[in-house]
Amino acid sequence: MKENNMGYDPSEFEEDDYGVSQPDADKSIRGYRIVIIILSVILVALSALYFSIHRQQMLDNQLLQVERDSIQNDLGRLMTDFDNLRITNDTISASLSFERERADSLMGRLKKERSWSLAKIKQYEKEVGTLRTIMRGYIKQIDSLNTLNKQLIEENVSFRKEISSANLRADMAEEKAAELNNKVRAGSVIRARDIRLTALNDRSKPVSRIKNASRLRIDFVLSANDLASPGEKTVYVRITSPDGYLLTTDATPAFEFEGERMPYSAMRSVDYQNQDLEVGIYFNSSGFTPGTYRIQLYCEGRAIGSAEVMMK
């Protein structure tokens, strides 16, 4: 009673004992709840973003797998077509074998490839497309040969019927036979096969890197052809660099092809006697770059063979 008289009131010190009033405590709790809710929303958003990115990566990988399988299937069908053409036409069998080996090499690279990307897919699609274009060229060539053979057969049959029905004299028959033989010879073309490109140093020794070469040697075989006329033949070679430029000398020599003057890289005259003839033609220069070189061969105004060679 005496202490109360001295002005002591317990209610004055109740809040000071706990440090925080009840309204302030409620505000702090609400603040914590808001922070927790915001963090939860951020966590949910981050989780959704992660799963979205992961799902997109899976879809991208599946798409690359589909593209890869499609390229392998196309290449497999192309290899089968090369085999079928090689069986049905012996005349260009050697050239078809070379392209078939290129297809085998490409298939091997496809199966060993582990680092797939959109750029790699486009690169392989381009290489398969090149082989497909070459295939179409062979098909067109075979169709032309078949058409020529069919025409010759029809002319021969017609000629025989004419002999039987008109009872022509022996000299008339001989003249017709010679005429038919001339048509066969006119349709004959000497073909080049087994085309190769070798990089050489200034001592004519092969080098593994084309950038170290001071000359190139183009080797090939002129195929035997009994219908072709024997004698001296001039073979012209055109070498196209990986960047699409024709390799030639400062003089820029040219030859006649289909009524036009066509520049060439090098040439050589050979004695062709209707048998397989191995030929080598040299091109002297420097500053060669790695990549795919295109070789084109011409003789007697006709294209007789071509090849693409990858040089390191």
Least confident of 22-26, 100-104, 206-210, 296-300: 22-26
Residue type, 273: Q
| Neighbouring residues of 249: CB distance < 8 A, sequence distance ≥ 6 | 265, 285
Model pLDDT, residue 134: 75
For the segment 166-219, what is each residue's pLDDT rounded down to a tens digit? 666 666 656 765 666 655 655 578 999 999 999 999 898 999 999 999 999 999
For the segment 224-258, what is each residue's pLDDT rounded down to a tens digit? 998 888 999 999 999 999 999 999 988 889 999 98
For the segment 256-284, what is each residue's pLDDT rounded down to a tens digit? 998 899 999 999 999 999 999 999 999 99
Taking the model in full, what pTM does it have? Answer: 0.43
Compare 263 and 57 and report the one with higher pLDDT.
263
- 41 alpha carbon, distance to own chain's centre: 52
Model pLDDT, residue 177: 59
3-state secondary structure 257-298: ECCEEEECCEEEEEEECCCCEEEEEEEECCCCCCEEEEEEEE
- Tokens coding 175: 């003249």
Rounded Cα distance between 149 and 22, Å, is 109
3-state secondary structure of 107: helix
Question: Residue 64 pLDDT > 70, yes or no?
Answer: no
Task: Provide the b/e sequence for 267-276 (b: ≥16 CB within 10 Å).
Answer: eeebebebee
Compare 144 and 257 and report the one with higher pLDDT.
257
Mean pLDDT score, 125-136: 76
Mean pLDDT score, 76-93: 64
Say if residues 274 and 224 touch (Cβ distance below 8 Å).
yes
For the segment 74-83, what is each residue's pLDDT rounded down to a tens digit? 767 767 766 6
Question: Residue 89 pLDDT > 60, yes or no?
Answer: no
Compare 129 and 255 and report the one with higher pLDDT.
255
Split at pLDDT 50, 70, 90, the class of 130 is: confident
List the one residue out of 65, 92, 76, 197 whose CA is nearest residue 128: 76
